Amino acid sequence: MAASRSVIRRALLYVPGSSQKMLDKARGLNVDCVAYDLEDSVTPSRKPEARSNIRHFLQRSRPAGIKENAVRINAVQSGLALHDLTEVLQAPDIDAIVVPKVNSPSDLRFVTDVIRHTLPERHTEGSPATNVPPIQLLALIESAKAVTDLSSICRASPYLSGLIFAAEDFALDLSLTRTPSLMEFLFARSAIATACRAYNLPSTIDLVCTSYKGTEGQQRLREECLGGKGLGFNGKQCIHPSQVENVQRAFTPSEDELEWAVRVTIADQKADQQGRGAWTLDGQMIDAPVVGKAKSIVNKAASCDMDTESMQRKWKDQEPD
């Protein structure tokens, strides 16, 4: 059965469902989330084959390196989504559905209703009868209409777990030309990251980096990761396995970040005991928002399997200045 869902989706890697070779290769990866694709990477004539491939693939035992199995279905308005869901929901080892071209809340409600009808034991209101968690939804935001209706989209389904920005379709919708600076997407990306935070959605997944070959491609990838992280994204889409390691590293706290965060949280406990609401560390003022950020970094580091306990032992004697 499906494992507990991961709220850490630093890398979301698309794998074409029509390629058995690529599906088999994915089993050897170490990646937070694999989205087995039925949409853009699969030609219309091969979609039935891809559905069958994915269903059979997800009936096998899960590789140790894959934390979350997701399936990207076709858009609701394509008329293919019901066929996709009917097939892939037969597989026991599925954690999430990626819904493309979400333009309105009705798209997510449709998918939610189908899943509830097909797998009621995983989508009953209140506590499920089993320990298997509900299938989560990830919504791809690809149009101006979607960006202007993010509030309604974020409230459309109790199983919505994050938003994903699809830059290429968004550029097509607005007749934009993608540039290396990505400034043309600044408003949309900021709106998506802000909406995820406002509605407490765990995942904010940034655009695909179309460059991945050679040193230049990997450098561009790292730059895009840093830029996305600076806007509030906590993950990125990947289109090639070679991107995964750099992406997951970029969205994992560094050793220096973890060390700072641990020092702040330990010193804050002592400052609190002394009745100090604000204090300093290394000459910088520390108050409640900074402490909140530090705690978030420590939690994220633990979720990324970093050794937070050793760092806490190292700095157990840290005092507020």
Residue 125: predicted pLDDT = 58
- Cβ neighbour number for residue 310 with a 10 Å cutoff: 9
For the entire predicted model, the pTM comes to 0.91
- The pLDDT tens digits for 223-244 are 999 999 999 999 999 999 999 9
Q: Tell me the C-alpha distance between 91 and 81, whole Å.
A: 16
Residue 2: predicted pLDDT = 41
Residue 4: predicted pLDDT = 41
Instruction: Compute the C-alpha angle 89/94/99, nearest 5°.
Output: 75
- The pLDDT tens digits for 14-51 are 999 999 999 999 999 999 999 999 999 999 999 999 99
Specify the long-range contacts of residues 268-275, CB closer than 8 Å, at least 24 apart.
268/294, 268/320, 270/318, 270/319, 270/320, 271/320, 274/320
Residue 83: predicted pLDDT = 97
- The pLDDT tens digits for 53-107 are 999 999 999 989 999 999 999 999 999 999 999 999 999 899 999 999 999 999 9
- In order of 79, 108, 162, 296, the CA distances from 97 in angstroms are 16, 10, 11, 27
